[in-house]
Amino acid sequence: MRKTNMFMILGHSYSNLCLVVFVVVFTATCFSSQQVEGGDDDGRHNSVTLSSFTYATTLLKPYEWRYISVDLPPWFSSVTIDLESNVGLDLKKIGKASTLPMICFREGSPPLPDVYNTSLTGLVIDHILNSSFGGSQDLQIVEKCYPMQKNIFLKLTNEQISPGIWYFGLFNGIGPIRTQSKMINRGHSYSFSGNITVEGCTNSAVLGKFCNQTISLLSCLDTYISSESGIGSRSYNTTAENVMPCGGTEESCLDVAGSKVYSLDVVSIAEELIITALNITFTQSQRSNGTISGSGISLMCYVRHGAIPLPQVYDYSADINRSPLVIPLPRLGRWYIKIQQANLSESMVVIQEMNTTICYSLEWQVLRCPADNAGLNCTSVKYTLQTFLRKNPSVAFESYYLPINGEVSSDSANFPLGPLLSNSSDEDMRDYAWTFFLLDIPYAAAGGNIHVRLTSDAKISGEIYARYGGLPSLSNWDYFYANSTSNSNGSMFFKIYDASEKSISFYIIYARGGTWSFGLRHPISHRHSSRVETIMSISLERCPQKCSSHGTCQSVLDASGLTFYSFCACGRRNGGFDCSIELVSSSGHMWQSISLIASNAAALLPAYWALRHKAFAEWVLYTSSGISSGLYHACDVGTWCALTFHVLQFMDFWLSFMAVVSTFVYLAAIDEVSKRTIHTVVAILTALMAESGPTRSSNIILVVAIGTVGLLIGFFVEFFTHHRWISFSTEICLNMLNR
């Protein structure tokens, strides 16, 4: 009986334990499920690490720089940037900006904060924070720079920055002298290290910073025909003869406080993207005791290129219940569309308990032209340029672009414009026409420069507009040139080298990889003018103006090894990103060289003094030091190099150090054995100093300190020797008196 009761008690306890475990597991499962659906704080349930790069400690000497590129795929959720450095700056005590350690950001291509000698437009004297990135697309054609901090930790989401390749540049000083060849780089060095981690969503249909935003992918069907009540009934150039529309429709519903996000890929150059909503209806549950006027519904549509739009951050917006949203000349890539209801006016809504569902039919249409046409009516001419690599052994990865037709020869980088110009007038100005040129730049060549040049026998009356990812227009462009006074010369990455009446030459610095479009807006009369010949050339060059013939073009990989970029290494007299800024005049450089080399004649005075006092070892040292210094300075200024620069630099500094210390040792009144010992020790120390860091300012203090120590040692040796002799003599005299 006792056993039966015991088993009953155990069985009852076991059943209670199972019940408790079941409740705990069920509660934890439900809580976990709610977290996944709603999205937790760090998105661990739905995101994975796509890439992680660790950068070892890197030393940046004065006026050195490093580039780091990060590839963010379309499904990325966040990127974490964690940098550490030994920079300690007080933002309230920043002096000269040109020597300021800074970090710069740019989308699509490397930043270059010193394109202009006084360009500090992108510098923000503040600490860099997550809020510094507001989702603006301006970082494609401009850049942002911040003072380098001891610790930088950023976690940027796909709501703040768009997918693509982002570049981070770390500079230890900017300005024209950054690229100038210098004998000694004065300034402070700093080191940095860091880690960059990219996280992404596991499901391409679910995006957002927490990977909890469902995305509906819209497709563009060529066979789609809009209904009579839809876009097709409106006058948006869809009836033009050459227009090739594609589109689609989708039925959707959303709660009054909810939203729905779609994505649409524009895969080819398009003229318009049109979005509208049809058949908008709403239903209310029985718990709602209010009414909504049908005409009072505002269905807002927010559109953004490359990232999910927000009510505060978007590219285009419209109430698509009132009128369709029309995006002229949309960029290539993925567009995100967010639909949500706007706030209703109190006069039209009286709701005590809102529980309303809005249903609608979303319709979209992309208007395209045939391969050889462009413009809103597809009446302009469009040419796709073919890439031809230049066979230049000194500079790699240069190319030029030519139209693909039988009228242009591939033997030359130039092509005539006359046979290519369009004769169709613009709707706004009947006397002008547009001719478009499209070209592709490899993404790995984002460190190159687009060079556009026009030459003519007569005055050039056309205008050039450039745009990345889409066709340019009078109101939508990235860079333009109309004349010498109306152009984008104030932009960070646009540099004009020739702006005469018969010749135009400009560069787009560090052009972004992808599709570029150039639109030539010209008078129609030039199409039939056979006597005036206009030549055009478009090329991708590694260095602008071939470094203005004052430097050499050097190409390297960035720190991540993903991008090949080039820069100019200028000579002694020039600086700037293209070596076009003269820092020292020709006459000034000549007198500077003569004075620098002739100043070594000062070594004749100590050499003569040593020879007169028969100090032959010191005479050899002073003479050799003066000769080595003269040869080193002659090589440094570019006159003549007797030996390699490194050997001459070592000999100059080592013999100079030895001459200083030997002078102190010579003045010390010590025996020859001690002098030889000190000379041997000093020769070893100064050789190490001259080899490891000859230009360090601390070396001067160290050498003088060594010589002073040697002189003091000699003084104390002499003092104690003399003092001991006096004591010894006194002791002898006392002993004699005692006797």
Q: What is the DSSP annotation of 561-614? A: S--EEEEEEE-SSEESTTS-EESS-HHHHHHHHHHHHHGGGGGHHHHHHHHHTT
Q: Residue 530: its pLDDT value, please?
A: 58
Considering the domain architecture, whether residues 402 and 513 belong to the same structural domain is answered as: yes
Considering the domain architecture, whether residues 196 and 270 belong to the same structural domain is answered as: no
Backbone angles phi, psi at 23, to 5 degrees: -65, -40
Q: Residue 614: its pLDDT value, please?
A: 83
DSSP secondary structure letter of residue 385? E
Question: What's the domain range around 246?
Answer: 213-345+355-368
Query: Domain for residue 37, yes or no?
Result: no
Considering the domain architecture, whether residues 602 and 489 belong to the same structural domain is answered as: no
Q: How many domains does the chain have?
A: 4
C-alpha–C-alpha distance, residues 524 and 505, integer Å: 23
Q: Residue 236: its pLDDT value, please?
A: 47
Contact 516, 439 (CB under 8 A): yes
Considering the domain architecture, whether residues 315 and 442 belong to the same structural domain is answered as: no
Closest of 705, 692, 696 to residue 664, by C-alpha: 705
Structure tokens at 607: 């050499």
Q: Using only the alpha carbons of the chain, give its radius of gyration.
A: 38
Considering the domain architecture, whether residues 95 and 227 belong to the same structural domain is answered as: no
Contact 511, 565 (CB under 8 A): no
Query: Domain for residue 127, yes or no?
Result: yes
Q: Residue 40: its pLDDT value, please?
A: 41
- Half-sphere CA count of 354, side-chain side, radius 13 A: 12
Considering the domain architecture, whether residues 187 and 239 belong to the same structural domain is answered as: no
C-alpha–C-alpha distance, residues 652 and 639, integer Å: 17
Q: Residue 291: its pLDDT value, please?
A: 45
SS3 label, residue 408: coil
Query: Domain for residue 200, yes or no?
Result: yes
Structure tokens at 732: 């002898």
* Of the residues 207, 231, 250, the one at which a domain ends: 207
SS3 label, residue 294: helix
Q: Residue 406: its pLDDT value, please?
A: 63
Structure tokens at 66: 């490093």
Burial 473-492 (b: 16+ CB within 10 A, else e): beeebbbbbeeeeebbeebb
Query: Domain for residue 689, yes or no?
Result: yes
Q: Block means of pLDDT (10 residues each) for the chain, length 739 residues?
A: 39 39 37 36 66 92 92 92 90 77 90 67 78 62 84 90 91 89 78 94 86 91 73 51 86 86 94 91 59 65 92 91 93 94 54 66 93 86 92 78 78 87 68 92 87 93 94 93 87 90 94 94 67 89 92 86 86 89 81 79 84 84 86 77 81 82 76 78 82 72 75 71 56 49
Considering the domain architecture, whether residues 77 and 138 belong to the same structural domain is answered as: yes
pTM: predicted TM-score of the whole model, two decimal places: 0.79
Query: Domain for residue 517, yes or no?
Result: yes
Considering the domain architecture, whether residues 128 and 187 belong to the same structural domain is answered as: yes
CATH number of the CATH domain containing 238: 2.60.120.380
Torsion of CA 717, 723, 729, 733, to 10 degrees: -170
Considering the domain architecture, whether residues 277 and 227 belong to the same structural domain is answered as: yes
Query: Domain for residue 5, yes or no?
Result: no
263 Cβ contact list (under 8 Å, min separation 6): 215, 216, 217, 218, 334, 335, 336, 337
C-alpha–C-alpha distance, residues 194 and 421, integer Å: 52
Report CA 232 to chain centroid distance, whole Å. Answer: 43
Query: Domain for residue 12, yes or no?
Result: no
Considering the domain architecture, whether residues 359 and 401 belong to the same structural domain is answered as: no
Q: Residue 12: its pLDDT value, please?
A: 42
Q: Are strands 101-107 and 164-172 parallel, antiparallel or unpaired?
A: antiparallel
In the block, residue with structure tokens 């050339």: 537
C-alpha–C-alpha distance, residues 226 and 243, integer Å: 14
Count of CB atoms within 10 A of residue 406's CB?
Answer: 6
Considering the domain architecture, whether residues 71 and 174 belong to the same structural domain is answered as: yes
Burial 663-686 (b: 16+ CB within 10 A, else e): bbbbebebeeeebeebbeebeebb
**Residue 209: Cβ-neighbour burial (10 angstroms; 0-12, 13-18, 19+):** buried
Query: Domain for residue 735, yes or no?
Result: no
Considering the domain architecture, whether residues 418 and 522 belong to the same structural domain is answered as: yes
Count of CB atoms within 10 A of residue 721's CB?
Answer: 12
